[in-house]
Amino acid sequence: MYRYDSYDQSIVDARVEEFRDQTQRRLAGQLTEDQFKPLRLMNGLYLQLHAYMLRVAIPYGTLSGRQMRKLGEIAAKYDRGYGHFTTRQNLQYNWIKLADAPDILAELATVEMHAIQTSGNCIRNISSDQYAGVSADEVADPRPWAELLRQWSTFHPEFTYLPRKFKIAVIASEDDRSAMRLHDIGLKLVSRDGRTGAEVYAGGGMGRTPMVAPLIRDFVPEDEIVSYLEACLRVYNRYGRRDNKYKARIKILVHELGVEEYKRQVEEEFAHMRTLGLNPPTEELDRIRAYFAGPAYETGLEDSIDRSDPAFALWVDRQVAAHKQPGYAIVNISLKPRGGIPGDASAEQIALVAELAEQYSLDELRVTHAQNLVLPHVKMADLHAIWQKLDEAGLAEANLDLITDIIACPGLDYCSLANARSIPLAQKLSERFAAADRQKELGELKVKISGCINACGHHHAGHIGVLGVDRKGVENFQLSLGGSGAEDASVGQITGPGFSEDGVVDAIEKVTNLYLEQREEGERFLDTYRRLGMKPFKEAIYG
Amino acid sequence: MKILTGNDLGTGDVIWWAGDGWSRQVGDSVDVGDKGEDLARAEEAALRVVGAYVIDATVTAEGVRPAHIKDRIRALGPTVRPDLTLKPNDADAGNWVI
C-alpha cells in the first residue's frame, strides 16, 4: 500500500488546521454560511437532512487495518455507531457535529486519510478495481496510476473550480468491476507490443443524462497518461458549460461537440502539453509503484478446503474469488444482510473487518463501488475461520452479484437532494427474494436504486434499476431494465409508468418470473433482456 | 399554517421554531405567518440556526404535520433506523411520514 511521504502528510495536516480555523470563525460568527459553505464542502462536510454529513475519501477503495480501525473508532466516538460505504468507495458519517469536524479530520490525518475533494467541482476520489493487484487477468496493478492521479489532482490549481464535479476510474482488466465507462474519464490499462499504456474513455456518467463514455484514444503510453488527462481536463475546463449546472458535466461537452471534435481539441492540447515537459518523473512513478509491489506470499500452500459444512460451502461458492497466487483467495464481504441497509456497517463490524485484514489479509482490505468489502489476500486455509467470525458479526451473507446484493443510495432517509426513499425499497426486495435457492436460480442480477435523478445509486447501470421520484409529494418509483456498469456497459430503459413502493417490488418479481420462463441456456437476466427486448417484459409488468 | 425549520448551527440537529426559541420537536412549532423569512434571517445572524426555511404544515389530531414527506422525515429521523428517530420505542413511527 501507498504510504504518505512528508509532503503528503504536511499538506493534509495543514488542511486540518486551516479548516479548524475556518470552523472556529464560523461558530464565532466571523464567517456567514454563504462564506463557510464552500469551505466545508471542500473538506467533505455537507449539511444533510438530519445533521452534518462527512464524506471521507478512500483512495481507490484501498485501506489498511489501522485505517479501517480508525474509521470504526470515529463512528463510535463522533457519530452514532455506524458508517455508510458509498458507490465511490468512500465512507460517510451521517451525524457529525460541526465543532467535531476538525478533530475528526485530525484523527483521520494520523492514519493518512482525509476528506479533501470529496465534494465540490473538482476531481473527486479516484476509483479502481477492488481486485486490483490480485486478479490474474490484469495487465498491471492499476493502483499506482490511481495514486499518481490522486497526487496530480489533489489541490491542482487549474482544476479546483471545474464546471462541475469530475470522476475518474482506472482499471486494468477486461472485466470491468468499476463501472469505468460511466465515469467522466475512464482509463483501462493495456499492453500493446510490450508497452504499457491506457485506453482513454471520456464523457461517461449517470445523473439526469446517462451516457456510456466513448473511446477517445486507444493508446496513451504510460509516461504520458498524466499529460493526456491534463489535456482532456483543459479542454473541458475551457469549454464545459458553466451557465447550466445540468449541462455542465464533460459528457454534455463531448456529446455537443461530437466525439471527433472533442478528440481533435484534446490532441491539439496534448501536442502543446508535450512541449511543456509536464510528465511526472519516472522516478516518482517507480517510487509509487514500489509501494504496490506484491506482498510476500507464502508458497506451497494447499488449494483445497474442507467443504463439509454446507453453509460454509455456499458462502465460499458465492463470496470467494480466484486469486492470482496459488493457495490464496479473494474474500468478498457482503454489506447486504437480509433486510439490512446496503453499505451500512456498525463500528463493531468495521473494527472486526480491520482485525480480519490485519490477521488474515496481509493488513489490507478494499471497498467496492457496490458497497461491499473485500479481503484481497486470504490463505485458502484461513477461509473457514474468517467465515465463522463474519457469521458471528452478521457479515456472512452469501449474495455477491445476486438480486439481494442491491446498490442503494441513502435516499430520502438521509439525503437533502433525494425525492424518495431508496433503503426501504432495498429492504423489501431483500426480504421478498431472501430464499437462497431462489437467488441462486436467478443468478447474476444487479439491482440498483437511486432516490433521485442524480443517480448515486447507479440505477441507470442496473440490470434492474429503480429511480425514486416525487409525484405531488408522494414517493413513486420508475423501473428500468437492461443497464450495465460492467465491460458490456449500457444504460437501462424505463419500462413505463411508475409504481408505489410495494408496486415496484411486485413488478420486479414479474420481471424475474418472465426471465425464468424465457431464458436460454447460460443466459443471465441481462442477456435474456437484450435478446427479447423490452416488449415482453413490459407486457408482463403492465398486462 | 407556515412553520419555520432549519438545523442547529453547532450540532446540525433538525430544529423547529417554537415561538420563543427552537425545539427539536416538530409538535412545538408555531405558525409564523408571514414573519418566517425575517425570523430566519435574524436567527441565522444570531448563530442559532443554519439553512432555515419556511414550510407548509397542518395541525392534525397527532399534532403539527409538515406538508411534504421530506420535512416529515426531517421531523422524525431516518425511517430505516427507528432507534435513531425521536420515537425510538415506536417501531411503527416511520408510518407517520407516509
Alpha-carbon distance of B94 to A286, in angstroms, equals 54
Predicted ipTM of the assembly: 0.97
Mention every residue, 6+ apart, whose C-beta is less than 8 A from residue B82.
B88, B90, B91, B93, B94
Whether pTM exceeds 0.90: yes
Percent of chain A with pLDDT over 90: 98
Alpha-carbon distance of A338 to A38, in angstroms, equals 39
Average pLDDT over residues A521-525: 98
Residue A191, classed as helix, strand or coil, is strand
Using pLDDT thresholds of 50, 70 and 90, give the confidence band for residue A352.
Answer: very high
Q: Which residue of B5, B8, B9 is the best one to mutate when testing the A interface, meaning the one whose CB has the most A CBs within 10 A?
A: B9
pLDDT digits (tens, 9 = 90+) for A29-45: 999 999 999 999 999 99
Q: Between β-strands A344-346 and A52-56, what pairing exists: parallel, antiparallel or unpaired?
A: unpaired
pLDDT beyond 90 at A223: yes
State which residue of chain B sits closest to A80, comparing Cα positions.
B84
Residues of A in contact with B79 (CB under 8 A): 413, 421, 424
Beta bridge partners of A330: A321
Q: Which residues of A8-44 are buried (b: 16+ CB within 10 A; e: fewer)?
A: beeebbebbeebbebbeebeeeebebeebbebbbbbb
Sheet of A328-333, strands arranged across: A62-63, A365-367, A373-379, A328-333, A320-322
Using pLDDT thresholds of 50, 70 and 90, give the confidence band for residue A167.
Answer: very high
Using pLDDT thresholds of 50, 70 and 90, give the confidence band for residue B18.
Answer: very high
CATH topology of domain A134-290: Sulfite Reductase Hemoprotein; domain 1 (3.30.413)
Q: Which residue of A27, A31, A34, A52 is the best one to mutate when testing the B interface, meaning the one whose CB has the most B CBs within 10 A?
A: A52
User: Closest Cα to residue A54, out of A112, A102, A125?
Assistant: A102
Q: Where are the domains of chain A?
A: 6-109, 134-290, 310-392, 407-542
Alpha-carbon distance of A20 to A290, in angstroms, equals 34
Q: Between β-strands A91-96 and A82-85, what pairing exists: parallel, antiparallel or unpaired?
A: antiparallel
Residue recorded with cell 460517510: A92
State which residue of chain A sits closest to B52, comparing Cα positions.
A33
Alpha-carbon distance of A389 to A391, in angstroms, equals 5
Using pLDDT thresholds of 50, 70 and 90, give the confidence band for residue B93.
Answer: confident
Contact A97 B10 (CB under 8 A): yes
Backbone angles phi, psi at A113, to 5 degrees: -135, 165
- Among the partner residues A49, A95, A98, nearest to B74 by beta-carbon distance: A49
- What residue numbers bound the domain in which B83 lies? 2-97
Average pLDDT over residues A189-213: 97
Mention every residue, 6+ apart, whose C-beta is less than 8 A from residue A95.
A50, A51, A52, A79, A80, B12, B84
Using pLDDT thresholds of 50, 70 and 90, give the confidence band for residue A166.
Answer: very high
CATH of domain A407-542: 3.30.413.10
Contact A412 B14 (CB under 8 A): no
- Among the partner residues B12, B80, B94, nearest to A96 by beta-carbon distance: B12
Using pLDDT thresholds of 50, 70 and 90, give the confidence band for residue B91.
Answer: confident
**Residues of B (24-53) whose Cβ lies below 8 Å from A:** 44, 47, 50-51
Q: Between β-strands A344-346 and A82-85, what pairing exists: parallel, antiparallel or unpaired?
A: antiparallel
Same CATH topology for A134-290 and A310-392: the answer is: no
pLDDT at res. A324: 96
Domain range A6-109, CATH class:
alpha beta
Residues of B in contact with A97 (CB under 8 A): 10-12
The reply to whether B70 touches chain A by the CB within 8 Å rule is yes
User: Closest Cα to residue A27, out of A127, A106, A137, A101?
Assistant: A101
Domain range A310-392, CATH class:
alpha beta
A-to-B residue pairs, Cβ atoms closer than 8 angstroms: 68
Alpha-carbon distance of A172 to A165, in angstroms, equals 24
Average pLDDT over residues A397-417: 98
pLDDT beyond 90 at A398: yes
Residue A444's identity, in one-letter code, is E
Q: Locate the DSSP E strands across chain B.
A: 2-7, 14-17, 22-23, 50-60, 63-66
Alpha-carbon distance of A251 to A235, in angstroms, equals 12
Mention every residue, 6+ apart, whose C-beta is less than 8 A from residue A78.
A93, A96, A97, A100, A103, A104
Distance from CA of B45 to the nearest CA of A (A): 8
Contact B12 A50 (CB under 8 A): yes
Q: What is the DSSP string of B27-49?
A: GG----TT-HHHHHHHHHHTTS-
pLDDT digits (tens, 9 = 90+) for A471-484: 998 999 999 999 99
pLDDT at res. A392: 98
Whole-number average pLDDT of chain A: 97
Q: Which residues of A315-326 are buried (b: 16+ CB within 10 A; e: fewer)?
A: bbebbbbebebe
Judge contact between A483 and A456, C-beta under 8 A: no
